[in-house]
Amino acid sequence: MGKYCEVCKKGAMSGNNVSHSNRKTKRSWLPNVQRVNVMVNGKATKMCVCTRCLRSQKVERCI
């Protein structure tokens, strides 16, 4: 289970930290992924979903 959204396939991005003296070091940005129960084909399954997909209701969350 990687750090990616199973709905929109959003994953990690890489780039640089840039200091005041313009030195660069590699870093990564991870999406805010939550493991939630969602309804898929009438069944409750656990999926890793980013918070943007949860807020825009791209998945139906079951309680």
* pLDDT recorded at residue 63: 78
* pLDDT recorded at residue 19: 98
| Number of neighbouring beta carbons within 10 Å of residue 6 | 20
**What is the phi/psi pair of residue 59, to 5°?**
-125, 150
Residue 53 has pLDDT above 80, yes or no: yes
Q: Where are the domains of the chain?
A: 1-63
Q: CATH classification of 1-63, choosing from 3.90.550.10, 3.30.70.360, 3.50.30.30, 2.30.170.40?
A: 2.30.170.40
Please, which residues bridge with residue 37 across strands? 46
* pLDDT recorded at residue 1: 54
How does residue 54 score in pLDDT terms, banded at 50, 70 and 90? very high
Percent of all residues in the chain with a pLDDT value above 70, rounded to a whole number: 98
Contacts made by residues 9-14, CB under 8 angstroms, sequence distance 24+: 10/50, 10/52
